[in-house]
Amino acid sequence: MSAASATFGGQRTIGLGFSLLIIALYVFLLMPLLTIVGASFTSGMMIEFPPQGFSLKWYHEFLSRKDLVDGLLMSLRVAAITAIVTTTIAMMAALAGQAMAGRMAGWFQLGMTLPLLVPELLTAVGLLFFLYKIGLGKTVLGLQFGHILMAFPYAYVSITAALRQVPSSLEEASSSMGASSWQTFRLVILPLVMPGVAMGAIFAFINSFDLYTISLLLKPIGGNTLPLALFDFLTYEFKPTAAAAATLSILLSLCGVVLVQRLVGLQRAF
């Protein structure tokens, strides 16, 4: 009896400790976000937390600065194109990877995730030389290539994971009922991996939106992405305008996630 209650008590302690750990983890993860969001509403002149008073003036300031707004628009456009193109290519690559067998498949997988393993700076320098060679140095198209390259592994991994969940017998069943490979893909595979595809698109979008080093080296003449514009801005003025810009970015990402959630049901991706 006493032994049993001791065990029970022990389990409770572990449960409590575990809950505390989870809470601590969340605080650690969310603190920077809360700080920056809070700081964007300050009525003072400095980025600080806790904020002094409440005001929306830094949002107004942000929207009235052409360099920052241009950066935001450029980032959004590049990220959107990156998400669409990357997801499409990653889908094809994931299908190819699945069709391979044995050692070949392992090497293929490694190759597809290489941009994650090579330091971003090296990739950026290499790309810069390459893009100049083919006449795309310092152009928006070149920047777009760089972003697609960097975002690709995220989409690839996400879609590959989703594809693994689809038993091969579904493809065989579909084929035995007369479906061509394309029909099987469109009617069976794609609907089933859609949550993974959506996840991949979100990863690609956020990754692109966030890229700094690649953008710094490849940015087109006269153009800036939001991270670059913000960094330039912060070099001279340490004003909460930057916090307002960051908060808007977070809001935009959240909108994207909610939209995808509505469209395909993200919970199925996990």
Binding mask 202-221 for another protein (x = CB under 8 A): --------------------
Other Cβ atoms less than 10 A from the Cβ of 60: the count is 12
- Report the C-alpha gap between 270 and 267 in whole angstroms: 6
Indicate the burial class of 223 (C-beta count within 10 angstroms; 0-12, 13-18, 19 or more): middle
Sign of the dihedral defined by the CA atoms of residues 248, 253, 258, 263, in that order: positive
**Choice between 13 and 176, CB closer to another protein:** 176
Tokens of 111: 């190759």
The answer to whether 180 contacts another protein (rule: CB under 8 A) is yes
Cβ neighbour number for residue 104 with a 10 Å cutoff: 11
Q: What is the four-CA torsion angle of 29, 31, 35, 38, rounded to 10 degrees?
A: 90
Answer for which of 177, 221, 235, 267 binds another protein (CB under 8 A) is: 177
Q: Is 183 among the residues that bind another protein (CB under 8 A)?
A: yes
* Residue 187 sits in the site that holds another protein (CB under 8 A): yes
Q: Does 67 bind another protein (CB under 8 A)?
A: no
Which of 21, 173, 255, 259 contacts another protein by CB under 8 A? 173
For another protein (CB under 8 A), the number of binding residues is 17
Element (H, E) at 132: helix 120-133
Residue pair 82/205 in contact (Cβ under 8 Å)? The answer is yes
237 three-class SS: coil
Taking CB under 8 A as the criterion, the residue among 179, 248, 257, 266 binding another protein is 179
Cβ(114)–Cβ(122) under 8 Å? no
* Smallest distance, another protein to C-beta of residue 88, A: 21
CB of 263 to another protein, least distance (A): 15
Q: Is 182 in the site for another protein (CB under 8 A)?
A: no
- Of the residues 172, 234, 258, 259, which one makes contact with another protein according to CB under 8 A: 172
| Binding status of residue 113 toward another protein by CB under 8 A | no
Binding span for another protein by CB under 8 A among 17-25, 145-153, 168-176, 237-245? 168-176
State the nearest-atom distance from the C-beta of 175 to another protein, in Å: 5
Please state, in angstroms and rounded to a whole number, the distance separating the CA atoms of residues 66 and 15. 52
Nearer to another protein, 161 or 179 (CB): 179
Note the residues at the interface with another protein (CB under 8 A). 167, 169-170, 172-180, 183, 187-188, 191-192
